[in-house]
Structure 1
Amino acid sequence: MNSEKLLAILRLQVTKNVGDILAKKLITTVGSVENVFKEKINTLHKINGIGTQTTQHLFDENNLKRAEEELNYIQQNNIAFSYFLNDDYPQHLKHCIDAPILIFKDGNLNLSNQKVISIVGTRNMSSYGRDFCNQLIENLKEYNPIIVSGFAYGVDICAHKAAIKNNLQTIAVLAHGLDEVYPKTHKKYIHEVNNNGGFITEFWHNEQPMRENFLKRNRIVAGLSKATVIIESAEKGGSLVTADIANSYNRDVFALSGRVTDIYSKGCNNLIKNNQAHILTSAEDIVKMLNWDLQQAAVPKQKELFVELKPTEQKIYDYLQQNGKQLLDDIAINCELPIYQLSSILIQLELKGIVNPLPGKMFEV
């Protein structure tokens, strides 16, 4: 990516009153991120959500100076990053409307694997939660998933360590810049996490771990994954926010149930009771819900079993097999098919016993 484009992204990212949703609207409307700062102000004002105050922030010289400083740091330190319109941007996250327009990365990340789950929960986990977390990840090892969490105390660091122990890739999503470490005591795990995955953040290199950053971080944790697992939570907590966000993204949520008298099981029990999460009793629950068992079994047989599929049918099947159950609209977008044509093809695939329709206009192989 050239310096002009990266500078424009950074300027947009730091502009007050311009969140990720509005930033994407601006980029889409004017054609590119560079054009945002070349477009006439009167033209920008015609875009819904852009007023005089916002354009003043857009062209604030202080923002330009800050963006130039961050650009220099990125280039001098060879910081890896992904722009939301580029192919190397995490695919699951790309489908989230409020995903960051730019993320920074460190480590040995390989995001081509579609089997990604987030595991979060209380910082005050019990031995019950710890034992379950360790056993869960060990039992998922054969499916080689990526384990995402937030590098915090308790469930987060337990999930990261269990992934490393089982030679699985793990991604730590930070609520601060890559130059910071929080909590400080987790500095000893940085090398291991980098060797077995790495770190992702939307925050600039010296951004401090402010309270509001943790809530922003949670949407990335949920967005990176096909499913979010909550292992122990009080009635209120950040992991419940992550569960709520995951539900808003139409992602599966699992919660470990516990005794009704346990403080740090109340949040999970409430999620299950209110149909906001599937009850989690073992790794098998995740494997079956996400169709990992069918995907593994189908890999060596795919060519033999589906030789009679038409090219478009094969495209839809391959997409569903790789991504699990999907909304009709998402299938249409990713397979580049109009809804009316897609619906007809899905019916044919259903008649062939290849695709199952699900409630809520969802489909799975």
Structure 2
Amino acid sequence: MNYSDQVYQIALHKLNGIGIMRAKHILSRMPLNDFFQLNKNTLRSVTGFSLSFLNKLNFKDALNSAEIEVNQLNKNKVSFSFYDNDSYPNRLKNCSDPPLILYHYGNGKLSPKKTVAIVGSRNASITGKKITKNLVNELSSHNITIVSGLAY
């Protein structure tokens, strides 16, 4: 089945064992759709990854999950920038361990002058969620870009 670039990008992000270093390695050697379509022996020879590692990657589940996520993102008007997209901020590309994907809602300018990053737990308390909601509402009214890892 042919998927959109967005589905392949999110699917790569969903694969256990694929972080930014392996993702860069893959992207430097082949188009992303090839990574999901080539057989494991070919992938081994092209990427140098071990066959045991490649066999642990569940492409089907990652692609199915990514397709659902892309539909949800579109439905909620949320966009994202993948590491090798032109819209991905250069300042982050130069970090040693940048995120593979940046999600954004609203204005997609990812190199603004006024930026606040919100970092937190995926298991936030009720109080933490209330504080975050109030903080985000206040900051957004002052034309400040809010960066979050979507933990909230």
> Normalised by the shorter chain, which TM-score bucket?
0.7 to 0.9
Larger radius of gyration, structure 1 or 2? 1
Partners of 1:76 and 1:109 in 2: CA distance: 17
Q: Give the AA of the match of 2:79.
A: A
What's the offset of the Cα at 1:61?
A: 2.7
1:11/1:199 Cα in 2 relative to 1: closer, same or farther (>3 Å)?
same
Letter aligned with residue 103 of structure 2: F
- Using structure 2 for the length normalisation, give the TM-score: 0.77
Equivalent in the alignment of 1:93: 92
How far apart, in 2, do the equivalents of 1:201 and 1:33 lie? 26
**One-letter amino acid matched to 2:146:** F
- Distance in 2, matches of 1:193 and 1:7, equals 31
CA contact (8 A) 2:40 2:55 kept: no
2:73 is aligned to 74
Q: Structure 2 unaligned runs (5+)?
A: none
Deviation at 1:175, TM superposition (A): 4.3
Alignment of 1:93-132 (within 5 A): 93-108=92-107, 110-112=109-111
Residues 171-214 of structure 1: CA deviation (Å, up to 9, x unaligned): 3244468xxx98222211222323422333455xxxx56xxxxx
Confirm or deny: 8 A CA contact 1:81 1:102 kept in the other structure: yes
Confirm or deny: 8 A CA contact 2:11 2:59 kept in the other structure: no
State the secondary structure of the residue aligned to 1:22.
Answer: helix
Partner of 2:115: 170
- Measured in 1, the distance between the counterparts of 2:145 and 2:127 equals 15
Distance 1:95 1:39 in 2: 30
Mapped contact 1:24–1:101 kept (Cα < 8 A): no
Structure 2 counterpart of 1:17: 17
- Quote the Cα distance in structure 1 between the aligned partners of 2:25 and 2:148: 22
Q: Deviations over 1:135-163 (max 9, x none)?
A: xxxxxxxxxxx4xxxxxxxxxxxxxxxxx
1:112, CA displacement in angstroms?
Answer: 4.2
Aligned residue in 1 for 2:8: 8
- What is the alpha-carbon distance in structure 2 between the residues aligned to residue 198 and residue 57 of structure 1? 38
RMSD between superposed Cα atoms in Å: 2.7
Paired position in structure 2 for 1:315: none
Higher RCO (CA-CA < 8 Å; seq separation 6+):
2
SS at match of 1:37: helix
Q: Structure 1 runs of 4+ off > 6 angstroms?
A: none
CA drift of 1:58 comes to 3.1
For 1:80, what is the secondary structure of its paired residue? strand
Q: Normalising by structure 1, report the TM-score.
A: 0.35
How many angstroms does 1:9 deviate by? Answer: 0.9
* Alpha-carbon contact 1:18-1:54 (below 8 Å) kept: no
For 1:94 and 1:33, how far apart are their aligned partners in 2?
18
**2:145 matched residue in structure 1:** 198
Q: 1:67 to 1:170 in 2, by over 3 A?
A: same
SS at match of 2:147: strand
Unpaired runs of at least 5, structure 1 = 114-145, 147-168, 210-365
The CA deviation at 1:110 is 3.8
Q: How does 1:1-365 map to 2 (within 5 A)?
A: 4-30=4-30, 32-46=31-45, 47-48=47-48, 50-108=49-107, 110-112=109-111, 146=113, 169-175=114-120, 183-184=128-129, 185-195=131-141, 196-203=143-150, 208=151
How far apart, CA to CA, are the structure 2 residues paired with 1:67 and 1:111? 23
Q: Distance in 2 between matches of 1:171 and 1:25?
A: 30
Query: Are the counterparts in 2 of residues 13 and 101 from structure 1 also a CA contact under 8 Å?
Result: yes
* % same residue: 25
**Contact 1:106 1:199 (C-alpha < 8 Å) held by counterparts:** no
On the 8 A contact 2:78/2:106 being kept in 1, the answer is no
